[in-house]
Structure 1
């Protein structure tokens, strides 16, 4: 199939497909006598895998590493499980950080409701945000 047909089947712009080719995520397609790219159905499968990897928070570099393992004949499932485990740990750490920030912002908001802006001294920028020492 031609790149336009592939793009339509995969639900992606042709520029995205060309970008993935340049990044090495897709194998070089066969070229017709006219120079047009000719793709086989396995390219759609690979594009769907790339999309699933991105949806799971994997970077294109990580996805490329998985594809390289597969192309070298290695089943990459253990590697993928490790990547997913690391992503989950990072998400949980980020959630903890955001939860702490949420608490801090709630405290500041409550403080702002109790304080009168007229009471802010000339030595303070804003007494809602207390200076840290």
Structure 2
């Protein structure tokens, strides 16, 4: 079993489901508030790996929904600077296990990475905010 640093938006229903899936699988989950963490670009960058910059963003963040930020039009450096200033822009959750990092909660990817309980329904949607369905 793994010890998972889990960066969430407190009160997020999706993040609560994601943490429950990790705990059911026997993982130790250390929860951190994504919005109050003192981020630097160097700390954030590893979470995004080789994903396109547009996939680093939370599409339901108010600045994106209002059209103030266009994730497909920003560079790596611009994205990181925006996220340091406005952590609500960061796609959730951020996950770290030792020196391995991930963003989002793709069930199949998390299962392949650290494992989920055999009874886990890997077809459910635990990334989309229920209020946006």
* Structure with more of its chain in helix, by fraction: 1
Per the shorter chain, which TM-score range? under 0.3
Q: TM-score, normalised by structure 2?
A: 0.20
Larger strand proportion of the pair: 2
**Bigger relative contact order, structure 1 or 2 (CA pairs below 8 A, ≥6 apart):** 2
